[in-house]
Structure 1
């Protein structure tokens, strides 16, 4: 074991868990300078760029990884996610289709398939992109005007049932503000059908306790 590489890796991963993206990037670049690139380091660097909303750099990093190591489910899925978020409809379809052909698990299959359905309808996809403004507004309203935030999030998930942030925040609003544990349970369940989330799992358990 290389103790220097291990130290840089632990510092970077710990910072990623804490969403301290600047520190994560600093230590990951130290690790790369020390031991060179690998597919995993490329991927983590792209994650760090995404955490900082540096989508173009994340995309270019992943493309370089594909050029070096070839396509894989993990790379194609993230490339699809980036293009889905940034409005590159044709490229999103291309990457998601490649990811779907690489035997994703049940959750990933459900999310990718749902997004391909959205992408197949150009008008609907345009509305999904427009709804990003509603997401930003809802974030700002979440604490002070929760009922307004609720309406915005409901609009978002109507057009895009894969919007995990909106689904999770709807669950939180129904659980903690509106005290409707049954509806909260539904939204947290939808989150967990798409992604693994320890926070959503804890909230789902809480909603079920309150419902009973």
Structure 2
């Protein structure tokens, strides 16, 4: 009728719960590889430690070698800097990190561009003047050579014309002497005019 719990029942339940807790703790201790002591072979553990020990030793040796190599490299770098990278042996005497030593103007700007352009213009004008003077000298030389050739041709043709004129006077006498003289004079005049025209054309060219 009434659900009344007896003292004996409560004691039995508490005892059962304690046994369950102890069993659970025992199982956790046995099945935990890190803390269990039951079912563990000491010799096997020793052999495992002996197998692991060489690996640890090798790792320590490699680590020490790496540290030594790193220190040796750092010492070599410092020694090289002291021997070959002194301030007096450097090409640039200025500190690139110093803002006060930087060149004025923008990056890539040439401050001497105006002076350089002015010098280029002056040099170009000098070249043009020199070229014009050379061309004028060449033209004058060609004119002199043409005049000399014309005079030489005239000197060569003058004796021939004189000879023909004298022959005409000697061979044609009498009534027709005046006519032949006029013809000879006309021929001489035509020749002289032709020679003067050739000379004038060559000088103009």
**TM-score, L = length of structure 1:** 0.18
Identify the structure with bigger relative contact order (alpha carbons < 8 Å, sequence gap 6+): 2
* Max Rg structure: 2
**TM-score, L = length of structure 2:** 0.19
